[in-house]
Amino acid sequence: MQETSSSTLEKIQQAALDEFLDKGFRGSSLRQIVKNAGVTTGAFYGYFSSKEALFASIVEPHAKALMSRFMDAQLSFAGLPEKEKIEHVGVESGSYLRWMVDYICEHKEPVKLLICGAAGTDYENFVHNMVEVEVESTMQYVETFRSLGYEGLELSRSLCHIIVSGMLGGIFEIVIHDMPKEEAVRDVEQLREFYTAGWLKLFLI
């Protein structure tokens, strides 16, 4: 029986996922991927124009899902009336992080590839891009709190970047170390509480 197109595509993507996870994008071999998939090079190029395109086909849906929900949380908080923002510190992020843990645990391998194996691709700065968005938003929140009379400490952009990098980097530890879901949920919730308390201390709220 002739293999279906979808079956061939799945074989290529699964072989690629295994190869990329093992060696990263840069160290992976397109020839090995084709061999492991049991298809011809010609068949491969019927689906993808390059190794880069193949990598993108695996990680792009997950990068888009994670970033889209992240931006929704940012916009949800930014859209609140200024006085309500004080009461919502950590609320929108908490909802996003709970969703994020669920998503990561449901799509562990491609998300791990996105975070750990993307060097040399357009996705290698994925976490850094999230950090930059969060830093920009946080600096705007600082000005909002000051306008409401909460002087707080002087928060430099560099310190904000350090804090946010630690927070987001800590969250992605759950995929880097293949944590079981129960452990991941517990640790990320405690991490959120830790950082929320820290932000409130800095803002002197």
Task: Give the range among 10-19, 82-91, 153-162 with minimum mean pLDDT.
Answer: 82-91
What is the Cα–Cα distance from 190 to 136, expressed in whole angstroms?
24
Q: Is the pLDDT of residue 164 over 60?
A: yes
Q: What residues have CB less than 8 Å from 197, skipping those under 6 apart? A: none
How much is the pLDDT for 152?
Answer: 63
Check if the beta carbon of residue 55 is closer than 8 Å to that of residue 16.
yes
Residue 36: name the closest of 62, 10, 61 by CA.
10
Mean pLDDT over each residue of the chain, to the nearest integer? 88
Q: What residues have CB less than 8 Å from 161, skipping those under 6 apart? A: 131, 135
- Sorting pLDDT into bands at 50, 70 and 90, what band is 92? low
What is the Cα–Cα distance from 22 to 113, expressed in whole angstroms?
9
pTM above 0.75, yes or no: yes
How much is the pLDDT for 1?
Answer: 37
Task: Return the amino acid letter for 57.
Answer: S
What top-level class would CATH report for the domain 1-48?
mainly alpha
Residue 57: name the closest of 42, 38, 44 by CA.
44
How much is the pLDDT for 5?
Answer: 65
**Positive/negative CA dihedral, 106, 118, 69, 179:** positive
Average pLDDT over residues 158-187: 94
CA distances in angstroms from 82 to 85, 96, 108, listed in the order given: 5, 21, 37
Q: How do the domains of the chain map onto residue ranges?
A: 1-48, 59-203
